[in-house]
Structure 1
């Protein structure tokens, strides 16, 4: 049995705007990452930096279906999949799954933590895309290593 972290939210924006908000680093730096060396595109390998943590995260095996899905690997045991579903009112449901870790006690903690992380990602993206609010700014300063 493999473990899965997952989260879903509805964003009151057209699918094209939500898609662009995820693949465009100029947008993502307003709610998720602090830096990226490029746009998410099929076959591209990127490096992401986060404002709260002194790490560089490699993003590999990127696969894109424009306005439909984004997938990538940033943990050798898992695949992140982001699915976009246009709604009749032209809003967009965003579903994130990250799966692949074998079932054990440490990975149960991972699944809980990453589910929280993806829920935060979605809430921050919704606030930014709908209202221009940057929820993430200062939210994790308490986690920084001194």
Structure 2
């Protein structure tokens, strides 16, 4: 049995704007990552950094279908697939699925944590794309190693 992590949200923006919000690092740094070596494009590897972690993460096997799907690998055991669906009112449903890990105690913990992480990512994306609010800013400062929050 393979585990998977899922999260879904509706964003009150056209699919083209939501898609651009996911592939464009200038927009992603407003709600998800702190740095990126470039735009997500099919076949291109990029490096992401998150504000709360020291490590940088290679994003590999990127596959893009414009205004439809974005998939990539950042954990050799899993594939992340983001699917966009345009609704009649010109809003967009965003679904994130990350799967591939075998069922065991550690991976069950991973699935629960990642489901919450992706839900948080989507909520932050919605706040930024709809209202320009950066919910993630300062939200995880407490996780930085060897730093105290003032």
The answer on 1:59 being equivalent to 2:59 is yes
**Unpaired stretches in structure 1, ≥5 consecutive residues:** none
Structure 1 stretches of at least 4 aligned residues deviating more than 4 Å after TM superposition: none
Give the superposition deviation at 1:121. Answer: 0.5
Q: Partners in 1 of 2:26 and 2:8 — Cα distance?
A: 23
Distance 2:74 2:34 in 1: 16
Q: Which runs of 5+ in 2 are unaligned?
A: none
Q: Deviations over 1:75-101 (max 9, x none)?
A: 000000000000010000000000000
Paired position in structure 2 for 1:6: 6
Q: Residue in 1 aligned with 2:111?
A: 111
Mapped partners of 1:75, 1:35: distance in 2: 18
Deviation of the 1:144 alpha carbon: 1.1
Q: Tell me if 1:129 matches 2:125.
A: no
TM-score of the pair, normalised by structure 2: 0.97
Aligned-partner Cα distance in 2 for 1:90–1:46: 30
The Cα RMSD (Å) is 0.4
Report the count of equivalent residues. 146
**TM-score, normalisation: structure 1:** 0.99
